[in-house]
Chain A
Amino acid sequence: MFFLQTAFGRPSVLILGTLGMFFMAITLVSVVVFHQRRVIRFNKQIQKMEEERQQMLLRASIQFQEEERQRIAADLHDDAGPLLATARLYLNENLIHQEPAVQLQSIFSAKQIIDDTIQLIRNISHSLMPPTLKNFGLEAAVKDLFDKINGSGVINASARFHDNRQRLSDEQELLVFRILQELVTNIIKHSSAGFIHLTQNAQGNIVYFRIHHDGKGILQADFDKMEHNSSGLGLKNIQSRIRVLNGKIFFEIDNTHTYYKVTIEVPRQPNK
């Protein structure tokens, strides 16, 4: 009772000081606990977002694979299948008609059809893995791609490799080629550009690729936004390939606002 009287009736320095120190200690502990809880909640939220992002990229990659398989299946079923069936018909004809002239004609037709089928299968195989890339490397493959684009006459495409003495590993070259292919396809489809120019250079252990074009391009902010929100797979695939390469990609516009630039940085990895 005396304690309470002293505390509430005639407050002493001792009681006030003790209570003040006690509440300060409690406040300090509370601040630490609540701050830490908030930080942990924030970290968990970021982790969740990162997981969702990874899931999205994985889904996009799987979806892309499925679409690719469907395309190949459709090519084989719709083009190669009928061609081979027709060739079989012509050869069957030979069993029925014994006249040499008719036989010769049908063998010739069957040969034509089989040649077409071989060409078709070659095209499918080339679209899966460009033979130039496999045999001669990225520079040749890119120049080949750009020659084909030039051949259409709609757009002027050129490429220059400044320092390609030390090549990227085969896996990296394939990934870079796919990224460049996707970027060039996007430029042709969406930007209405008149020219595309690719420049390659190397500095230390990093290889740089830059595509210039004079069409309607996108900037880094647009890329980040579209990569998350867009239903298309192209940009997501570019981002996932860049991640596999441990590289970076930048979408910019030059100071005169005339050309858009896409720069890719790829650190070299030893060839396995």
Chain B
Amino acid sequence: MKEKGVGFDSFAIGIESIIILLLCISFLFIQIKGSNNLFIYSTFNFWVVITFLIYFAGTFFVYLLTSSMSESVAFQREYFIINISFNILKDILLCVAMTMKSNDVVNEQKSGIPDLDEDLFISKKIN
């Protein structure tokens, strides 16, 4: 008999995955409905959301079956491979998201209005 608080709680993780998947889908739905003229894949948020979507969709069944099939050797191998694969995919997608974020920062810096009061400041300093 398992002790309370020890082991893998598939039910809780299943619920968590479903909630996160629903949130991701609702985000995408809002993006579809909004009339933003910016391409969705050029935003940081989109990449973060699809990272969550793909990771939780991919690992959904693994986590769901873990508590009942953790004793099976075959399952353990499959669990290892699926988990590793989706972790790598998740990291790659998050890297892409971070690249998008740094691009945004560069663009913001480029499009900023130069300080037009600079001369005034200099003249004040000289005086």
Which residues does A use to contact B, with CB under 8 Å? 2-3, 6, 12-15, 17-18, 21-22, 24-26, 28-29, 32-33, 35-37, 39-40, 43-44
Q: In the bound complex, how far is the Cα of B81 from the Cα of A35, in angstroms?
A: 33
In angstroms, Cα B81 to Cα A32, docked, is 29
Those 5 A-B pairs whose CB atoms lie nearest each other, nearest first: A17-B61, A25-B57, A21-B57, A32-B28, A3-B81
Q: Which of B2-10, B34-42, B100-108, B110-118 contacts A (4 or more CB under 8 A)?
A: B34-42
> B32 contacts the other chain (Cβ, under 8 Å)?
yes
Q: Report Cα–Cα, A24/B28, bound state, in Å.
A: 14
Q: What secondary structure prevails in chain A residues at the interface with B?
A: helix
A-chain residues with CB within 8 Å of residue B39 when the two chains form the complex: 36-37, 40
A22, closest chain B residue (CB): B58
Q: Is B54 an interface residue (CB 8 A)?
A: yes
Contact residue among B25, B41, B54, B62 (Cβ-Cβ distance under 8 Å from A14): B62
Task: Say which residue of B59, B60, B77 sits within 8 Å of A2 (CB atoms).
Answer: B77
Query: Contacts of B74 on A, CB cut-off 8 Å?
Result: 2, 6, 12
CA distance A64 to B59 in the complex (A): 69
Given A3-B77, A32-B40, A36-B31, answer yes or no on A26-B61 (Cβ-Cβ < 8 Å).
no
Are the CB atoms of B61 and A21 closer together than 8 Å?
A: yes
Q: Which B residues from 77 to 95 make CB contacts under 8 A with A? A: 77-78, 81-82
CB <8 Å contact, A6 and B78: yes
Q: A39 to B33: give the CA distance in the assembly, Å.
A: 10
